[in-house]
Amino acid sequence: MPNSVPVAQPDYRSASFLLRHIRHTLSFYDDKAVDPAGGFFQCFLDNGDIFDRDTRTLVGSCRFVFNYARAYLQFGEARYLEWTKHGMRYLRQVHRNPATGGYAWKIVAGRVADDTNHCYGLAFVLLASAWAMRAGMQEAKVWLEETFELMEKRFWLEEFGVYANEADGAWKLSSYRGQNDNMHACEALLAAFEATGERHYLERAALLATQFTNGGLPQAALPDGQIWEHYRSDWHPDLEYNKRDASNHIRPWGIQTGHQTEWAKLLLILDRHAPAEWHTQRAQALFDISIEYGWDAKYGGLFYGYDLSGSVCFDQKYFWVQAENLAAAALLADRTGKEKYWQWYKRIWEYCWQHFVDHQYGAWYRILSVDNQRLSDRKSCNNKTDYHTMGACYEVLNVLGKR
């Protein structure tokens, strides 16, 4: 399915452009996402039709709360606050198990379909609670604290200074270890600090950043400083995990281009609150190497993943990878004053404007082939919600607001 090419190129460094784009993205979801019976519909075709009314994932439920809490804070519309509250009720009343304190990973037709507990999921509950609190839901502070304590009790590994990843419904930990849960925990902890001003959240976020990006967990580090995805229980890289399972998009083999730059973004957000020279140095290194190996010089855009030698191992283009690179480029441009990062910001936006943004219906397409053809008419499946794309715009607005 070829993509339509818009004629007009906007000023990507304009606050008014970014706000219009957030509005346009929200418009795709606003008139169809809210389920009056509870929670949000999560599965949409390109034209906005719902193709699955029953399936709800924990991460998707949390990301809608994030989207609407931030929209309320930015635009002040009462409906966004109501939808934030609507989403938090669903998290507390449907996803949460009051007997165990855990949160169901998947709900289908109002019933728990998967009660696995993921640190990744709890990180998003923490993130949603932090933004709900900032939007004015003061009761969300209690839920924020409760979620952090649950993560500490069930997933924190004191010996390593990081979180474990997965437990069954009875809280028995699996042996799998991974960086992604910890990266999103760092994001959520930064949001918790910004919502509450309580430094233990910031200190824990800083520790996670150190462990994964600055040698704090030495056995986990790759020789060139990039960040691997999967580990054994002793936190040595598991270089074989899912190597022969190219279909696994949740835990793919290889180095994920977007996660290198997502960490770069988080390091620069951390630096706003706890400055350290190494934050910017590591953010630059992670961004630069992700561009070196991840940018497609032929068709444009960033590949999903590459191997330890820098060869592409997953050549499809995912929306979120482009969005995280946009945000990191703008933050680096602001922090370092180097024009090359603004040039990359513009180049990535130009690519996304042509290939990923749906100028007719709103939001971004989810996944493209190596030559930028749409592979499906499913724009948003469960977890997507365009949290990455609007989140990137908000981060750039933070940069522009300083100028």
Active site residues: 259, 388
The residue among 359, 218, 226, 366 whose CA lies nearest residue 282 is 226
Q: How far apart are CA 200 and CA 283, in angstroms?
A: 23
The residue among 250, 86, 93 whose CA lies nearest residue 165 is 250
How distant, in Å, are the alpha carbons of 34, 284, 330, 332, 343 from that of 337? 42, 12, 10, 8, 12
Q: What secondary structure does DSSP assign to 211-266, as a single string?
A: HHHSSSSGGG--TTS---SEE-TTS-B-TTTTTT-TT-SSS-SSEEHHHHHHHHHH
Q: What secondary structure does DSSP assign to 279-341, as a single string?
A: HHHHHHHHHHHHHHHHB-TTT-SB-SEE-TTS-EEE--EEHHHHHHHHHHHHHHHHHH--HHH
The residue among 255, 128, 260, 257 whose CA lies nearest residue 183 is 260
- The two counts, helices (H) then strands (E), for the chain are 12, 17
